Amino acid sequence: MLIKLLFIVLLVLMIIYLFRALPLMLKAQSSPPLSHYLGRRLLIAVILFGLLVIALMTGVIQPNPNPYTL
């Protein structure tokens, strides 16, 4: 349950950084560079993907074996 909560928090952080970068993309000059927020978003995505792979390999989370059957 804790790993799922961590995934949700990381996804919310990705969305927050995406929306914080949006006004900077619309301005010509920005005080913090745009790459600051987009780089953090990319780092969170890499961490999220790594945690997902580790959780699948260790058996903490289990994929659905046949997702298309009812």
Give tens-digit pLDDT for 43-57.
Answer: 999 999 999 999 999
- pLDDT exceeding 90 applies to what percent of the chain? 41
- The first and second tokens of residue 3, run together, are 């790993």
Q: Identify the domain containing residue 54 by its residue range.
A: 35-60
pLDDT at 6 over 90: yes
Residue 43 maps to a domain: yes
- The first and second tokens of residue 62, run together, are 């289990």
Residue 50 maps to a domain: yes
Average pLDDT, the chain: 87
Residue 42 maps to a domain: yes
3-state helix vs strand vs coil in the chain, percent to 5: 70, 0, 30
Number of domain units in the chain: 1
Residue 26 maps to a domain: no
pLDDT confidence of residue 8: 95
Residue 44 maps to a domain: yes
